Chain A
Amino acid sequence: MTSSPNPHRLNASVRSGRIDRARAIDCTVDGRRVRGHPGDTLASALLACGITEVGPSIHRGRARGVFTADCTEPNALVQRLDGCPEPMLPATELEIYEGLEVRTLSGVGWLSGQRDTAGYDKKFVRSDVVVVGAGPAGLAASLVAARGGARVMLIDQHRELGGTLPDGQAHVSGHPATEWVGRAARELAENENVRILTRSVALGCYDHNYLLVAERRAEHLPVWRSSGPRQRLWHVRAGQVVLATGAHERPLVFADNDRPGVMLASAVRSYVNRYAVLPGREGVVFTTSDSAYATALDLLSCGARVPAIVDTRAEPPARLVEQVRAAGAQVYPGSVVTAATGEPGVTGVRIAGLDGNGSLTGTPVEVGCDLLAVSGGWNPAVQLFAQSGGTVRWDPVVAGFVPDSPGGRSARVVGAARGTYDLAGCLAQGFAAGAEAATVAGFRVAPPAVPQVDGDRPVGRPRPVWAVPDESRPRRECTEHFVDLQRDATVADVHAATETGMRSVQHVKRYTTVSTGVEQGKSSGVNTIGVLAETLAASSPGEVGTTTFRPPYTPVPLALFAGRTRGPLYDPVRTTPMHTRHEQAGAVFEDVGQWKRARYYPKNGEDMETAVLRECAAARTGVALQDVSTLGRIEVVGSDAPVFLDRVYTNKFSNLPVGKARYGVMCGADGMVLDDGVSLRLAEDRYLMSTTTGGAAKVLDWLEEWLQTEWPKLDVYCTSVTEQWAAVAVVGPDSRTVVGRLAPELDVSAEGFGFMRFAETVLRNGVPARVARVSFSGELAFEVNVARWYGQALWDAAMEAGRDLGITPYGTETMHVLRAEKGFVIVGQDTDGTVTPLDLGMNWAVSRSKDFIGKRSLSRPEMLRADRKHLVGLLPVDGHSLLPEGAHLVDQRAPRRPPVPMLGHVTSSYRSAALGRTFALGLVSGGRERVGEVLRAPVGGTDIEVEVTTPVFYDEEGVRRDGAAQG
């Protein structure tokens, strides 16, 4: 006889299971072939093959086995190797498919260096009623709400609906409960107002009924069979939320409770009934409540032996005791398993009595087994409820944290999630909550009568035991009583935490790392709280309280949150109409906000430094051209526009004549520089304001805020016109010649076209243009503006007009050098929100005769301090060292033991073609008083000596902006 690949698979006549036996699926686990069937998880397939043991534990390397059949699994975590490798997947949740290949992990996985090519997308939907959990309570709620006509969304983690009903043997209206589930699923599927999301986890439940749901769409399929996105993130805004999230069974804490073969009692039921797998042939059941008796009965009905049912309660319900005795099991009431024996897997247990005070009694007896099913009670899955703002309280009757009275818009919680563990109760609550939710959402409906059910009905009160006393050792030495299997944390660890003085469960969690694994406390949390309560002699776990429940409910790949927002779609890209010309010229681009701006134009393999020196030289000695279309432009229009600009700029604009331009600085109410730029007065009631490239949106918001909230009576309208214009700056001594050719109708002479004037004209190519004489370089310069769609024509015409003069396109890097040589600041580079116009030495731009936003702040005592940081020039003494931007500046005599007093820092630093040396701008405490002083910039272990200077390095007299004398 050949050995079966699935020696632990139950015969179909014993348990059919929810698997397709007609088809086999082969996967690879740690290089071994594991055969299962469609419907199996990796864990059920492993158990069917007789493999209980998985990877050893994270810190202590102890043997571990499959422990659960759900998302609370602490041991059976695997790394998927096929497709895009993914870490830390619970084998208990992983549906198998042909070709699945995994490695078992010791608590740590790895991120793949491989690019994840799978698709991830998002959907944004609204729904009248969202039901989380498709167990009996959730199905009941969905059915009723849908019958009322509400748009219903039903979300469940698993492949199949029904919650734990397929794990058990309950009946509804005289038929197996799975038939009721099937009918409910059909009714919902046929209703076009209902959307069912299976394999979908509600990750978070947020304010105002907002939910995030992660749907696994193709993960259960081999790569070659999957099409479309692998996962989808649903953003759901719900009218009403019903949480039917069920409950998680608690482990029990005793000596060597981590041995392979120890398994949650509910997981044993799930493997037997749902997967037709017998995880052991001799199963001891250790329980604190009624529910595990069903596990014993299931094991017995499959031909397994149950040598002992160990119940902490002195008087378990007689009906249950009789039932299991009749089936052949022996009950040990008022008893505990003190230890699992066997190495590495369980081969037996030691059983002792437990008196009313929780002390061991009598002489322990040993019973042999290969499976130990444990049930420490149940934790209602209150995670989503608590995330959405609900509070929980300890309920001593159900021995668990349950939702406290929900207030306001909080979700309705039904079924096991609120500690209701009988089927009739779950259905009744589900029907009621579904009807209520639909009615509140505007779809009046009444709950139907609850059908006759025959299921597991807990009658006896549980007797939780947080840590079984050791037979010989005190608590502080209970180093094999595990409270958190994944983190290898024990009763001794919790005890040690309290001995260091910690009392808060939050502190103990962080000290011991309990609940910080993948299960996030679903399995370990309440036991830790119980152990802590006992250690601190608290009256109940409720007195200790819980740690904070945070999203996500289960781990989720970050790729899902990124969705399609990656690569080129990460952020919108804004380009100017001349962009292709820059590309053709080989420009290197930089991001300025969302804009792509040409940074420099390397020629013949130049590096940035060489290219920038060349571009700068062209601007200072010939003619150069920059695309300045990205500058923000706002039209400020209305009879009160002059008054308004006087209030928002530190200097005056009401007296600016039509046809002229003026540089302005804006401050926040705190007096700190917000933005700057040149504004043109187009008409008495019309200005064109320019802003920094990155500050355009912020400035428009700022203007609108003041207009709407403080000065609504002002007749002013602001319109962003950035996208309506394209512009070039033509810069350099030869710029007059070039612009003269470009705009033949314009008088560009020094007398005819003064500095800070603008004029409307028509270019030689017929394009209407506005030309302004403004300069951000100190050189003679013109800014030529045209309607956006003529941008490329403008660029081409300017290049053509300057070809014989060697017109040179330049980028932002050159622009930075040119302006820094003149000491012109860039807001956001030389300022950082703590710098006033006075700090920048811009007293000339600060009006004394009028109020403006921020003016009052400039006379606050803090602003008048002599040690405020001033904008200064910095010249490396050696003439060639390039200071790193951000480098700190210290006094020559300052001691070098921390804390070293910092005098300031470098804000801009470049090499200058015009100066033939390096130079920098910086902010230095009392800087204007330090001109001539030498400071030090400690950089990479050595000091660079720098001399403090005034910030204007080039053409201090300002003669170059008007160009060469005529004639």
Chain B
Amino acid sequence: MLLIRCPWCGDRDEVEFRYGGQADVDYPADPERLDDTAWGNYLFVRANPLGTLTERWVHTAGCRRWFSVVRDTATNEMSPDIPSRRESR
């Protein structure tokens, strides 16, 4: 049972959350302009690193807000996804 830090509610048990997969997979601005491969990549292709992954969670049984964190997939070490770093991505 992971201990997840909701940016609004603080440290809460994993059962209060739902996982949202890799962060920053943006809905394409104009899906019709993407070819089948590009759309397929948006739909189905996700990173699966051994190491750090920026991922989304939603505090379903709490404030119901989405946020992203950086998690080491090998150790489950989690740290906040810093907004300033987001801008540079």
Residues of A within 8 A of B (CB): 206-210, 235, 237, 389, 407-409, 669-670, 701, 704-705, 708-710, 851, 855-857, 860-861
- Which residues in B have their C-beta under 8 angstroms from that of A860? 36, 39-40
- Which residues in A have their C-beta under 8 angstroms from that of B40? 860
- Which residues in B have their C-beta under 8 angstroms from that of A705? 20, 58, 66
- Which residues in B have their C-beta under 8 angstroms from that of A409? 77
CB distance from B57 to the nearest CB of A (A): 11
Do B13 and A237 touch across chains, with their CB atoms under 8 A apart? Answer: yes
Do A708 and B66 touch across chains, with their CB atoms under 8 A apart? Answer: yes
Given A408-B75, A701-B58: A207 in contact with B1 (beta carbons within 8 A): yes
Roughly how many angstroms separate A948 CA and B74 CA in the complex, as a whole number?
A: 53
CB distance from B26 to the nearest CB of A (A): 7
Instruction: Identify 18 new A-B residue pairs, CB closer than 8 A, beyond the known A210-B1, A389-B76, A709-B20.
Output: A207-B2, A208-B2, A209-B3, A237-B1, A389-B75, A408-B75, A408-B77, A409-B77, A670-B43, A704-B64, A705-B58, A708-B65, A709-B66, A851-B30, A851-B32, A856-B28, A860-B36, A860-B39
Pick from A208, A235, A708, A856: contact of B31, CB below 8 A. A856
Roughly how many angstroms separate A861 CA and B39 CA in the complex, as a whole number?
A: 12
- Which residues in A have their C-beta under 8 angstroms from that of B77? 408-409
B26-38 vs A, Cβ < 8 Å mask (1 yes, 0 no): 1110111010100
Indicate whether B46 reaches chain A with its CB closer than 8 angstroms.
no
- Which residues in B have their C-beta under 8 angstroms from that of A704? 58, 64, 66
Pick from B27, B43, B60: contact of A710, CB below 8 A. B27
Do B75 and A861 touch across chains, with their CB atoms under 8 A apart? Answer: no
Please, which residue of chain A has its CB at the minimum distance from the CB of B32?
A856
Do A207 and B13 touch across chains, with their CB atoms under 8 A apart? Answer: no
Interface residue range, chain B: 20 to 34
Question: Does more than half of chain A's interface fall in helix, strand or loop, or is it mixed?
Answer: mixed
- Which residues in A have their C-beta under 8 angstroms from that of B60? 701
Roughly how many angstroms separate A207 CA and B74 CA in the complex, as a whole number?
A: 11
CB distance from A178 to the nearest CB of B (A): 37
Roughly how many angstroms separate A705 CA and B25 CA in the complex, as a whole number?
A: 13
Do A237 and B66 touch across chains, with their CB atoms under 8 A apart? Answer: no
- Which residues in B have their C-beta under 8 angstroms from that of A207? 1-3, 76
Interface Cβ pair total, 8 Å cutoff: 58
Task: Determine which residue in A407, A669, A856, A857 has the highest number of CB atoms from chain B within 10 A of its CB, and name it.
Answer: A856
- Which residues in A have their C-beta under 8 angstroms from that of B56? 709
CB distance from A670 to the nearest CB of B (A): 6
CB distance from B76 to the nearest CB of A (A): 5
Do B32 and A208 touch across chains, with their CB atoms under 8 A apart? Answer: no
Roughly how many angstroms separate A957 CA and B27 CA in the complex, as a whole number?
A: 41
Please, which residue of chain B has its CB at the minimum distance from the CB of A212?
B1
Do A208 and B3 touch across chains, with their CB atoms under 8 A apart? Answer: yes
Roughly how many angstroms separate A210 CA and B76 CA in the complex, as a whole number?
A: 13
Roughly how many angstroms separate A600 CA and B15 CA in the complex, as a whole number?
A: 36
Please, which residue of chain B has its CB at the minimum distance from the CB of A712?
B66
- Which residues in A have their C-beta under 8 angstroms from that of B1? 206-208, 210, 235, 237
Roughly how many angstroms separate A332 CA and B58 CA in the complex, as a whole number?
A: 67
Please, which residue of chain A has its CB at the minimum distance from the CB of B34?
A856
- Which residues in B have their C-beta under 8 angstroms from that of A408? 75, 77
- Which residues in A have their C-beta under 8 angstroms from that of B28? 856
- Which residues in B have their C-beta under 8 angstroms from that of A856? 28, 31-32, 34, 39
- Which residues in B have their C-beta under 8 angstroms from that of A857? 39, 43
- Which residues in B have their C-beta under 8 angstroms from that of A708? 65-66
Do A669 and B43 touch across chains, with their CB atoms under 8 A apart? Answer: yes
- Which residues in B have their C-beta under 8 angstroms from that of A709? 20, 56, 66
Do B43 and A210 touch across chains, with their CB atoms under 8 A apart? Answer: no
- Give the contacts of B5-28 with A (CB-CB under 8 A): 13, 18, 20, 26-28
- Which residues in B have their C-beta under 8 angstroms from that of A855? 31-32
B53-86 vs A, Cβ < 8 Å mask (1 yes, 0 no): 0001010100011100000000111000000000
Task: Determine which residue in A208, A389, A701 has the highest number of CB atoms from chain B within 10 A of its CB, and name it.
Answer: A208
Please, which residue of chain A has its CB at the minimum distance from the CB of B28?
A856
CB distance from B31 to the nearest CB of A (A): 4
Please, which residue of chain A has its CB at the minimum distance from the CB of B74?
A389
Roughly how many angstroms separate A408 CA and B78 CA in the complex, as a whole number?
A: 11
Please, which residue of chain B has its CB at the minimum distance from the CB of A856?
B31
8 A-B residue pairings within 8 Å (CB atoms): A207-B76, A208-B76, A210-B1, A237-B1, A708-B65, A710-B26, A851-B30, A861-B36
- Which residues in A have their C-beta under 8 angstroms from that of B31? 851, 855-856
Roughly how many angstroms separate A211 CA and B39 CA in the complex, as a whole number?
A: 43
Please, which residue of chain B has its CB at the minimum distance from the CB of A410?
B75
- Which residues in A have their C-beta under 8 angstroms from that of B43? 669-670, 857
Roughly how many angstroms separate A710 CA and B31 CA in the complex, as a whole number?
A: 14
CB distance from A834 to the nearest CB of B (A): 14
Roughly how many angstroms separate A235 CA and B60 CA in the complex, as a whole number?
A: 21
CB distance from B4 to the nearest CB of A (A): 9
Sort A-B residue pairs by CB-CB distance and give the 4 closest, nearest first.
Answer: A856-B31, A208-B3, A210-B1, A207-B76
CB distance from A376 to the nearest CB of B (A): 34
CB distance from A713 to the nearest CB of B (A): 13
Please, which residue of chain B has its CB at the minimum distance from the CB of A409?
B77
- Which residues in A have their C-beta under 8 angstroms from that of B75? 389, 407-408
Given A701-B18, A855-B31: A237 in contact with B3 (beta carbons within 8 A): yes
- Which residues in A have their C-beta under 8 angstroms from that of B36? 860-861
CB distance from A146 to the nearest CB of B (A): 23
Roughly how many angstroms separate A409 CA and B76 CA in the complex, as a whole number?
A: 10
CB distance from A417 to the nearest CB of B (A): 21
Please, which residue of chain B has its CB at the minimum distance from the CB of A855?
B31
Roughly how many angstroms separate A692 CA and B83 CA in the complex, as a whole number?
A: 38
Please, which residue of chain B has its CB at the minimum distance from the CB of A210?
B1
Roughly how many angstroms separate A264 CA and B14 CA in the complex, as a whole number?
A: 43
Roughly how many angstroms separate A708 CA and B63 CA in the complex, as a whole number?
A: 12
Roughly how many angstroms separate A410 CA and B56 CA in the complex, as a whole number?
A: 25
CB distance from B77 to the nearest CB of A (A): 6
Roughly how many angstroms separate A710 CA and B27 CA in the complex, as a whole number?
A: 7
CB distance from B29 to the nearest CB of A (A): 10
- Which residues in A have their C-beta under 8 angstroms from that of B42? 669
- Which residues in B have their C-beta under 8 angstroms from that of A407? 75
CB distance from B27 to the nearest CB of A (A): 5
Roughly how many angstroms separate A670 CA and B31 CA in the complex, as a whole number?
A: 12
CB distance from A408 to the nearest CB of B (A): 6
